[in-house]
Chain A
Amino acid sequence: MPIQVKLFASLRERAGWSERLVAADELPATPRSLWRQLRLSDGVEAETARAGQADALPQGIRVAINQAFAAPDAPLADGDELAFLPPISGG
């Protein structure tokens, strides 16, 4: 079963999509591996990407798995809902 990937706010607009069902190329899949697979760093300004760490998520991007905050290297299971969250600004 594929993983449901969701993007929000500025990340969604930069990528041009909000939700996709994705079959992972690498197993075990992690948020970091799917970020790379989906080429979500494309268009990120150089200064926001962490220099020398091609695999790193850009600073300030957080991850949620099944609607709970998770680490970028947390293992994903089939059918999981994975969201990439740009810096939060509520209240």
Chain B
Amino acid sequence: MTNPCTIQLCDQPFEPLEALAGWQRQLEGEALGPAAAEAHFIGRVRATSASGAPLEALELEHYPGMTEMQLAQLSQACAERHGAEAVLVIHRVGRIRPGEAIVLVAVTADRRGPAQRCGQELLERLKHEAPFWKREWSGGVGTWVEGNTAW
């Protein structure tokens, strides 16, 4: 069975709680919801750069086509491995201001374990295997961020 995975790249700010509500209504319309267990992660842009300077903006570049394909494949693989029912990934691209949401990962399952484990693995895998590149803008200077923090 194919688990429903919804992938969206947004070039404008999005409100994670509104996006979640819309996704839940969509699942209910597909007679899948409400799920017994649901895990969510919202990532927001920090106010400081890696060096501690005030951050003006974070710019996020992606590889159109490959990024969406990787997100879909990773979501499907994680959902199958953990027995999750449905997955939602929304990821910003372009210029993002401090405090704005950059990523939302939501997973439904029959139990908390599969929902949380699927969400955590998917988040870690997309940070390393979906082609996104961050550039921090601080003091009018852009610096590419190479790699991710450990956690």
Contacts and interface: CB of A to CB of B under 8 A. Distances in A.
Given A8-B61, A83-B66, A90 B132 contact: yes
B66 A89 contact: no
A15 interface: no
Contacts of A60: 146-147
Most A Cβ at <10 Å: residue of B69, B146, B147, B148 = B146
A10 B127 CA distance: 17
A89 B63 contact: no
A67 B63 contact: yes
B55 interface: no
Interface string A65-91: 001110000000000000101111111
Contacts of A88: 127-133, 147-148
A64 B129 CA distance: 11
B135 interface: yes
A33 B60 CA distance: 29
Contacts of A8: 61, 63, 131, 133
B61 A9 contact: yes
Interface of B: 43, 60-63, 65-66, 69, 91, 102-103, 123, 126-135, 144-148
Interface of A: 6, 8-10, 60, 64, 67-69, 83, 85-91
